[in-house]
Amino acid sequence: MTAAPVPTLATPVPVPLDVERLRSDFPILGQPVRGKPLVYLDNAATSQKPQVVIDAVTRFYASENANIHRGVHFLSERATLAYDAVREKVARFLNAGSAREIIFTRGTTESINLVAQSFGRAVLRPGDEVLITGMEHHSNIVPWQLVCEQTGARLRAIPITDTGELDLEAFDRLLGERTRLLALAHLSNALGTINPVRDLVARAHARGIPVLVDGAQSAPHLGVDLQALDCDFFACSGHKMFGPTGVGVLYGREALLERMPPWQGGGDMIASVTLERSTWAPVPAKFEAGTPMIAEVIGLGAAVDYLSAVGLTAVAAWEHELLAVASQRVGDIEGVRLVGTAPAKASVLSFVMEGVHPHDIGTVLDDEGIAIRAGHHCAQPVMQRFGVPATARASFAAYNTLEEVDALVRGLRRVRQVFG
Amino acid sequence: MSLNELYQNVILEHNRSPRNYRSMDDTDRKAEGHNPLCGDQLTVWVRVNDDVIQDASFQGSGCAISRASASLMTSAVKGRTRREAEELFRRFHRLVTGTLEPAEAETLGKLAVFSGVSEFPIRVKCASLSWHTLKAALDAPGHTVSTE
Ligand SMILES: Cc1ncc(COP(=O)(O)O)c(C=O)c1O
């Protein structure tokens, strides 16, 4: 007898999003900014927080606070259980094979640094190569530069095409004998491109090369199935997925984590310590030295529950609609050029306007209560590739509306007026 | 605070057609300025003779505030001594950070159009980048300065 298929994140949710209801869960969205209703389109930088997440953090401090994994008392036991329950939750949310493969970190940046300094430093030899792409966030570039400098390895990057996609022919050429790791973004924060990660993982694995996926942008927008992606490491940040700042996740394949040396030393990550030597706790504790961000992890748990209840499939579908309408309408404005026009895109609309610096676009929009980002988005190589000093970027979340896209378009027309 | 006070017509006009927008190859007093936050980047050249700034120019990319500031600055410092230029920068900086007395603002001449910047703290760096770069060109030619 075959068991009924377990619904996964990829299972379509029949009900479309009730965006108005969703918005009412986010107290900040009701707040006027500069006398206008807030139009928050800077979600790629950080998302807003629903009341349930705010409440979870407040409740923890008001009635549950204690340190974990060390007290014998009631509160400590409860806090420990709550903390470890979030690990299970995150493992289910990302469909990891086991909660032992989930390490809590401060965020994507720390997750990648952990892999670079633990895995990278142990594995890389002079002349070895780490392969990244030309569309990475600085946090998936600089940690590799650091470890390459420490080990004598070499950092190489897959170029991107004019539409902002990976050049797959170059990828096949660059994936070589000396490649020891491929590290790439799932969803580009500067271009919005969704990379064909599953396929690239398969190609890397065919050569025995492990893959790290930077999921800072994909975790909140695409619905991630780690077992299907089959990557070896995956990093994401709580604050971009309706959770608190200061907490993130590193997924690592258990067999790899077992072989990796600890990254930081301290309490909680040891099995035993003498003044001569220490032995390590099993994973994931081996990688969580010191008192972790307990309240933030609890808040992340609430965010994951919230996102799961809303349903990533419905979120992705709605954001796709917002992005499609916005791309069309913003792209039609005189003098606007979209930066990043890959067929597979999500949630991010980067653009430049002839004769107007992105910063000035940002300031005029801000005057209308519209929050976007202007700058290089911590992806300077992308800016260099497209020959622009900066772009303006509107990035969407599930609570955004078509009326807000209207407001953006009206705001951009005003920018045109101001700058003639 | 209205947007019109930030983007005064003089600023918009200097953004569109900046003055002294050229390189100078007959001087070694040149410095580069960066604002890593927004990717602004500009080069300032000065020619000094007998401690008097004979000529000043700039090139680079930046927002309207930073371009207009560089344009008006290069015009304002010509014919001034280094000390006078530095004093002008001190007053200008107090203007854009909102700590200058209104009476003093009048002594700034055209530069007073940047008074609106003080209401937009994030743009102070844009307005002062060219001045920091000028100072670097005067102090240590060939230097690079950063507003971070
Ligand atoms: C693709 C990508 N990677 C990494 C990061 C870094 O995330 P964090 O700053 O939360 O560590 C970001 C955040 O902007 C991002 O968009």
- Tens of pLDDT along A312-349? 999 999 999 999 999 999 999 999 999 999 999 999 99
Q: Tell me the mean pLDDT per 10 residues along chain B, length 148.
A: 86 96 91 83 94 96 94 97 95 95 88 93 93 92 68
CB contact under 8 A, B123 and A363: yes
Phi and psi at residue B81, to the nearest 5°: -80, 165
Query: Does pLDDT of A8 surpass 60?
Result: no
Q: Which residues line ligand 1 (CB under 6 A)?
A: A 44, 107-109, 137, 139-140, 185, 189, 214, 216-217, 237, 378
Residue in A with minimal Cα distance to B121? A363
Is A378 labeled as catalytic in the residue annotation? yes
User: Burial of A260 by CB count in 10 Å (0-12 exposed, 13-18 middle, 19+ buried)?
Assistant: buried
Instruction: Nearest by CB to B7, from A380, A383, A418: name it.
Output: A418
Q: What is the pTM of this model?
A: 0.92
Q: Which residues lie below 8 Å from residue B15, measured CB to CB, with a gap of 6+?
A: A419, B64, B67, B68, B71
Query: How do residues A346-393 score in pLDDT, each as one tens digit?
Result: 999 999 999 999 999 999 999 999 999 999 899 999 999 999 989 999
CB contact under 8 A, B64 and A357: yes
* Six-digit token string for A256: 């790899």
Query: How do residues A126-140 score in pLDDT, each as one tens digit?
Result: 999 999 999 999 999
Query: How do residues A209-242 score in pLDDT, each as one tens digit?
Result: 999 999 999 999 999 999 999 999 999 999 999 9
> Interface of chain B against chain A, CB under 8 Å?
3, 6-7, 12, 15-16, 37-41, 61-65, 67, 120, 123, 126
Q: Which has the closest alpha carbon to A45: A409, A396, A289, A411?
A: A396
CB contact under 8 A, B6 and A389: no
Query: Does pLDDT of A4 surpass 50?
Result: no
Residue nearest to atom 15 of ligand 1 (CA): A216
CB contact under 8 A, A364 and B16: no
Minimal Cα–Cα distance from A412 to chain B, Å?
A: 14
Q: Residue A45 C-alpha to ligand 1 middle, in angstroms?
A: 8
Query: How do residues A47-87 score in pLDDT, each as one tens digit?
Result: 999 999 999 999 999 999 999 987 789 999 999 999 999 99
Integer CA distances (angstroms), A357 to A205, A336, A389, B32, B94, in order: 43, 12, 9, 19, 25
Instruction: Tell me which chain A residues have a C-beta less than 8 angstroms from the C-beta of B7.
Output: 360, 418
* The pLDDT of residue A343: 97
* The pLDDT of residue B143: 67
Mean pLDDT of chain A: 94
Query: Does pLDDT of A2 surpass 60?
Result: no
* The pLDDT of residue A124: 98
Q: Is ipTM beyond 0.95?
A: no
Instruction: Tell me which chain B residues have a C-beta less than 8 angstroms from the C-beta of A358.
Output: 38, 63
Share of chain A above pLDDT 70, in %: 96
Instruction: State the DSSP H helix or E strand holding residue A227, giving kind and residue range, or none if neither.
Output: helix A226-229
Minimal Cα–Cα distance from B13 to chain A, Å?
A: 9
